[in-house]
Homo-oligomer: A and B are copies of this chain.
């Protein structure tokens, strides 16, 4: 199968969420690309193309089997394989991610949290006892951790990324507002928490003009 682009993966995630939550709630067994397209405001042709990319072909007007579609997306994205993650930086956002209950649905489990703040080490944040930074590398190596979540101040993020990569991490979920330089086999996923403000400011500007 051809490598899927980030945008296709994100749309698959939206379909998956919609199918597991909305459709499941209403006990729907089949769904058409048009219904999915309308609910998610995506072009129906795009929906069919994305579904075809994961091997799903709709049955005419009946559409897609919801369970089968969920399974195909889950397997394609890899949510059926669980994987462990470490979190570095236990500030407000780190605490929010540690407390977030739904990651396990996507295969991910945060198994340790690290900080360099002596006030925090040994304390419990959202159920995790905060570990000192000197234990980061041995922990990653021993548990063969492949994902690290970075929620530190921006000025230390590249230094930490280097340490994480040296320890064997293959993906960094980066919540710091800085780009990270990593080797080509390591994925950096940058989260840009402000992006929603584009839509919000544009809407409010328009409202004000009314």
Contact = CB atoms under 8 A, between A and B. Distances in A.
A121 B204 CA distance: 29
A119 interface: no
A177 B78 CA distance: 22
B41 A197 contact: no
Interface in A171-190: 171, 173, 177, 179, 185, 187, 189
A96 B92 contact: yes
Contacts of A102: 177, 194
A192 B204 CA distance: 21
Interface stretch (A10-18, A135-143, A155-163): A10-18
Q: How many identical chains are in the complex?
A: 2
Contact of A194 (B106, B185, B193, B203): B106
A83 B198 contact: no
Contact of A185 (B13, B95, B191, B207): B207
A205 interface: yes
Contacts of A196: 173, 189, 191
